[in-house]
Structure 1
Amino acid sequence: MGKSRKIVIVGCGEVGSTFAFTVLLKGLVNELILIDKNRKKALGDVLDLNHGLMLTQPVNIKAGGFEDCKDADIIVIAAGAAQMPGETRIDLMNRNVAIFREIIGEINKHNQSGILLVATNPVDILTQVALKLSGWKRGHVIGSGTLLDTSRFRYLIGDTLKVDPRSVHGLIIGEHGDSEVPLWSSLTVAGINVASNDPGSQFYLSPEQKDRIFHNTKNAAYQIIENKGATNYAIALALARICESILEDQKSILPVSCYLENYLGVSDVCLGVPAIIGKDGIEQIVSLPLSDTERELFQRSAGKLKELLTSIGF
């Protein structure tokens, strides 16, 4: 693996613990630190993970404190409050902002040069909160963005067309949430543009199929939570993919939550857009050719999030 690599995970809930397991399976690091306010949970996860080390690449895994953020390449924040019955989204955001103030204050005491990767929802809002609270370089604060949505989108398209989702090339951009935007105009399968309305096209998608695919993409989390209480596997894979691109300096183009300035008419907000991800985090944001409708929906998504940010003082 070469030089030492270190990931710190803050929050050992469903997402944090599954991500830790994914990092172990992929052999991404030499050192993996788990931090949780419930230290017993972190210790239990560490013990369980260490019991598999005979079967994986060597990794130093331990339960730690914020002092262990020192020299970390990537610090992943998966901690946050869950929404309570009757609680508004604004109330939830305010609680998570308070949690982030504490977490980021502690991180900043020990590390201001790594990459901060935010997984906690609402991820775009909290990515911007993390950026402003930390004072880190813009490219060093990344949200998981719409990478998970894009993976769901491609899976559903592949399932509909009966092709490998890795042969589907299309994006979801904007908010990781209800106002996300599917980019049908640039969707391709094996280089064939799917925007064609020709029913004779090999990879034709009817308007009804498109509506169903997008509906199931946007509402996937609700479906999963209704069935098992939380989402964890696919988001863990998405976080691991981002970390892999950073640690390996792969320059992969991934739709992550980035701070935008004059991007398709949008400024001063973090949203999911494609970006080149390498050792310096977000190294370049990729401009996209959008249809007029897609651009309007993207700008509307940005407007919605800016209103929410204003409501919580950001």
Structure 2
Amino acid sequence: MSDRPSPGPDVVVVGAGAVGATIAYTALVRGSARRVALHDIDAAKLEAEVLDISHGLSFTPRGSIVGSDDVEVCRGARVVVVTAGAKQKPGQTRMDLAGSTVALVRTLMPRLLEVAPDATYVMVTNPVDVVTTAALRLTGLPSRQLFGSGTVLDSSRLRHAISRRVGVAVQNVHAYVVGEHGDTEFPLWSSASLGGVPVRDWSRGHGGRLDEAELAEIADEVVHAAYRIIAGKGATNYAVALACCQIVESVLRDERRVLPVSTLLEGEYGVSGVCLSVPTVVGADGAVERLAVPMSDDEQHRLRLSAASIRATLEAVGD
């Protein structure tokens, strides 16, 4: 037998709730990572989730999953995905969860850093922008190493809504949602395009014009999508898991994808001191570069309003 220590997990998912367990499952099904670990304080729930996922490993790309209520399972991880936190209930906003979740982060992050100081941390717990800002302030980690899942999912929802209306494959819709992952988020219509054609120039000859009223309807649909899903089944889990795995893959494979993750802005667009989402290059070194995306005056104003909402919640929870 070799005396070499076993490598740490490629990905640790902290929290075995609906979102965390689905991220672990999706990472194995997609082949996002070969070594996946799941950590939660609920040992019985954790054991059941790991066993259930393990029983399907013969149908997936080569991989393994382990789970433990001991934080040691996270030791040496390359990427740590944090989903632990209070569950959003029907009628609650993401910001309603802030107090209890920030308190959990204050307890959790020092323990994780002891066993995985060099990992890239992807915060998924809502309200993700508040949680990410609080975690950065607590740990002192650089924003490239610790960032939030942001509006990656929201941008996918936006592309799906546009695709459905105009009859173009969703893969050919290029559009981003920016700002808070929550009620003040908004699409960047000024840079959105379909196959290279600006959204506002899309004609009926191409399959249906999108006027300003329709764009407003799409934006409202995207903002309220999670509320609709939570009201119907209690949680969102499938699409957020896919969105998170795309972030994980970009880190582990150094894909350098442009993703609207939540990072600490430092003067860009007139915003400083809070985390929110703008298109960002994500690779092996984490969230390495925020892009200077053209924004209209109205979009820049809305981004600053979004930042103000996040800042107000941080002040309310004493962070």
Q: TM-score range by the shorter chain?
A: over 0.9
Say yes or no: does 1:92 pair with 2:97: yes
Query: How many matched pairs?
Result: 312
Say yes or no: does 1:232 pair with 2:237: yes
The alpha carbon displacement at 1:167 in A equals 0.4
| Equivalent residues of 1:194, 1:203 under 8 A apart | no
Identity of aligned residues (%): 39
Work out which of the residue numbers 292, 295, 299 in structure 1 matches 2:300. Answer: 295
Cα distance change, pair 201–165 in 1 and its aligned pair in 2 (3 A): closer
Correspondence for 1:205: 210
Cα distance change, pair 203–86 in 1 and its aligned pair in 2 (3 A): closer
Say yes or no: does 1:22 pair with 2:50: no
Work out which of the residue numbers 241, 253, 258 in structure 1 matches 2:258. Answer: 253
| Equivalent residues of 1:29, 1:59 under 8 A apart | yes
In structure 2, distance between residues paired with 1:249 and 1:227: 37
Deviates more, 1:211-220 or 1:151-160: 211-220
| Equivalent residues of 2:8, 2:76 under 8 A apart | no
The alpha carbon displacement at 1:208 in A equals 2.2
Correspondence for 1:49: 53
Corresponding residue SS for 1:44: helix
| Equivalent residues of 2:133, 2:264 under 8 A apart | yes
The alpha carbon displacement at 1:84 in A equals 6.8
Deviations 1:87-134 (A, max 9, x none): 897763121111111211210221211111111100110011111222
Say yes or no: does 1:60 pair with 2:89: no
Say yes or no: does 1:304 pair with 2:309: yes
Correspondence for 2:286: 281
Deviates more, 1:96-105 or 1:190-199: 190-199
Residue type at the aligned position of 2:82: I
Correspondence for 1:175: 180
Give unpaired runs (5+ residues) of structure 2.
1-6
Give unpaired runs (5+ residues) of structure 1.
none
Correspondence for 2:248: 243
Corresponding residue SS for 1:268: strand
Work out which of the residue numbers 258, 263, 267 in structure 2 matches 1:262. Answer: 267
Cα distance change, pair 4–149 in 1 and its aligned pair in 2 (3 A): same
In structure 1, distance between residues paired with 2:16 and 2:125: 12
Deviates more, 1:194-203 or 1:268-277: 194-203
| Equivalent residues of 2:26, 2:241 under 8 A apart | yes
Residue type at the aligned position of 1:20: A
In structure 1, distance between residues paired with 2:201 and 2:90: 45
Correspondence for 1:81: 86
In structure 1, distance between residues paired with 2:229 and 2:20: 17
Correspondence for 1:101: 106
Cα distance change, pair 137–215 in 1 and its aligned pair in 2 (3 A): same
The alpha carbon displacement at 1:311 in A equals 1.7
In structure 2, distance between residues paired with 1:89 and 1:4: 33
Which residues of 2 match residues 109-188 of structure 1 at below 5 A?
109-188=114-193
| Equivalent residues of 1:4, 1:29 under 8 A apart | no
Correspondence for 1:214: 219
Deviates more, 1:8-17 or 1:57-66: 57-66
The alpha carbon displacement at 1:187 in A equals 1.0
Say yes or no: does 1:193 pair with 2:198: yes
Deviates more, 1:228-237 or 1:133-142: 133-142
Residue type at the aligned position of 1:259: L
The alpha carbon displacement at 1:198 in A equals 6.5
In structure 2, distance between residues paired with 1:83 and 1:61: 27
In structure 2, distance between residues paired with 1:22 and 1:208: 36
The alpha carbon displacement at 1:196 in A equals 3.1
In structure 1, distance between residues paired with 2:113 and 2:147: 16
The alpha carbon displacement at 1:85 in A equals 9.0
Deviates more, 1:91-100 or 1:79-88: 79-88
Q: CA RMSD in A?
A: 2.0
